[in-house]
Amino acid sequence: MLPRTIFPSLVRMSVATACMSILALPALAEDDAAKILKTMTDYTAGQKSISATFDSDIEVITPDLQKLQFTSSGQIKLERPDKLRVKRIGGYTDVDLVFDGKTVSLYGNNAKAYVQADAAGTIDQLIDRLQSTAGGAMPGTDLLLTNSFDELTATTIEARHIGQGVIDGVECEHLAFRGVDTDWQIWIESGARPIPRKYVITSKTLAGAPQYSLKIKEWKTDVPAEADTYVFKPPADAKKADLDGLAMMEFDEVPPGTPAGAKK
């Protein structure tokens, strides 16, 4: 048996070796990372319909610098150019967003209330509007845009193809990007179906560098939607709120009053 005093040394050696290995990663060409990302964004933008489920985690930092993580799951369905439905359920949120190309409806099951607004246009225009509204922000929706590549790389100052990774048993290409305010990583399925499998955003402007992570599952394309998929039907006991109520129905999985976490 090894003396106990050796174990700390072994741990330090293991950590040091791991750090050296990370530092020794080949600085693969930035063009390689951009090419892989462009292949993914072209592929996703070319899908007329998408159905997928997801798990997400958002970290927040408390005033006493404790890091907390809140988890939720959801489902997304879209038909380009102007149909979208997103449902997210967690310990502190139960929200359903429905967009039919003319009106966007957001229902909060916990509040038993919903808001609606005229929003004639495309999915891209709707996402842009929601991302600029504090209460409606939905990190990760930039992966669905038809101009996703431009949006994702707009503030990029460095890009790297780290190598391979495995997400849910599927081999992926691991890319890492650095920006001014955030760093982000993405794992893209290798092969003929380059879909996003995992997406991680790290904030660099908040102490503790909180992260937002999105894991995408059950990705399907060209699946016929049911007739009422993009039709909003409020429950009988739901009350309609004014548009100010949108800010009351936070789409992220965080308790009311919790400081903001990592978002891109």
102 found inside a domain = yes
- Cα–Cα distance between 172 and 165 in angstroms, integer? 5
Confidence of residue 20 (pLDDT cuts 50, 70, 90): very low
Report the number of distinct structural domains present in the chain: 1
pLDDT at site 251: 59
Domain limits at 42? 28-248
65 found inside a domain = yes
32 found inside a domain = yes
For 176-227, what is each residue's pLDDT tens digit? 999 999 999 999 999 999 999 999 999 999 889 999 999 999 999 988 888 8
- The percent of residues in the chain predicted with pLDDT above 70, rounded, is 79
State yes or no: cis peptide before 235, omega within 30 of 0: no
Q: Closest Cα partner for 214 from 161, 251, 163, 249?
A: 251
**Beta strand spans in 204-247 (E):** 211-221, 239-240
7 found inside a domain = no
pLDDT at site 11: 36
263 found inside a domain = no
Cα–Cα distances in angstroms (integers) from residue 112 to residues 48, 99, 205, 242, 248, in the given order:
33, 19, 35, 14, 12
3 found inside a domain = no
52: domain CATH number is 2.50.20.10
Phi and psi dihedrals of 125, rounded to 5? -65, -35
Cα–Cα distances in angstroms (integers) from residue 79 to residues 28, 61, 69, 233, in the given order:
36, 37, 32, 19
